[in-house]
Amino acid sequence: MVDESFLKRKSIQIRKDLLEMIYNAGTGHTGSSLSNTDILTALYYGVMRIDPENSNWQDRDRYVQSKGHAVESYWTVLADKGFFPKDELKTFSQFGSKLIGHPNNKMPGVEMNTGALGHGLSISVGMALGAKKDGKSYRVFTLMGDGEQAEGSIWEAAMAASHYKLDNLIGIIDRNNLQITGSTRDVMNNEPLDEKWKSFGWEVIEVDGNDVVELVEVLNNAPYKTDKPTLILANTVKGKGVSLAENVVGWHHKVPSEEEYKQAMDELTERLEVLK
């Protein structure tokens, strides 16, 4: 059993580390990464079967971040888990660095290059189908954005996953209701999102996507139905954990000023102190 206090403290520390990385680099998807931090924390510290010392272990669980632009939380978690030295975070988005603005599989722990939205689920369907054919027991997790649901390839992959009865595939939607130009309802309304996925043959579970403890419990219990893929509809707040960024569309891709950075770090440090 994973320590609840540990999970909560870890999610706050990951937020501090990714903010430091974005601030020093002068670039990054701040709001999006803060939004998915609890999901990544749950997966990497409480759910997935992985080995940082053997990142190509054949029986590892697979993770594909289809929502590739929100890479800062991903890099931070991978470094903290020991897939590569934490000092490399200082090179983020610098000339010659492997830590670019989207997942890059030259780095240990990254299964696939992603960034062009709509591709990650299709890749994951192939991985999950491969596991079935090879008699492997690993699960495949895929994180998507809610704005990404406008991509037609998402639904082609959803249909294929159901057809091939991929109960070893778990899709997760970071449902923060905002995308780069506005709310998902205004840009391309995708509601009712749960009913759409059910109609494609998936078992849909709704969860508080910023409750790391609840996420661990829900994700560890997947799959929920034999021969059916699982979709976790994770309701989140964009910019979660930093009050000035929460639910503000402009923080999709924005670097904090010196004053904003200090305010954000002070808030997060305060929360860490409370949990000690």
- Name all contacts of 192-199 with Cβ < 8 Å and 24+ positions apart: 193/146, 193/149, 193/233, 194/233, 197/158, 197/231, 197/233
Count: domains in the chain: 1
CATH of the domain at 106: 3.40.50.970
Residue 50 lies in domain: 4-275
pLDDT-derived band at 118, boundaries 50, 70, 90: very high
**Mean pLDDT within 252-260:** 95
The token pair at 244 is: 């000035």
Question: Residue 211 carries which side chain, given as an amino acid letter?
Answer: D
pTM greater than 0.85:
yes
> Residue 263: which residues within 8 A CB-CB, separation 6 or more?
244
Angle, CA 17 vertex, CA 35 and CA 253 arms, to 5°: 45
Cα–Cα distance between 29 and 180 in angstroms, integer?
Answer: 10
Span 220-252, pLDDT tens digits: 999 999 999 999 999 999 999 999 999 999 999
Span 148-165, pLDDT tens digits: 999 999 999 999 999 999
Consecutive H or E run containing 275: helix 258-275
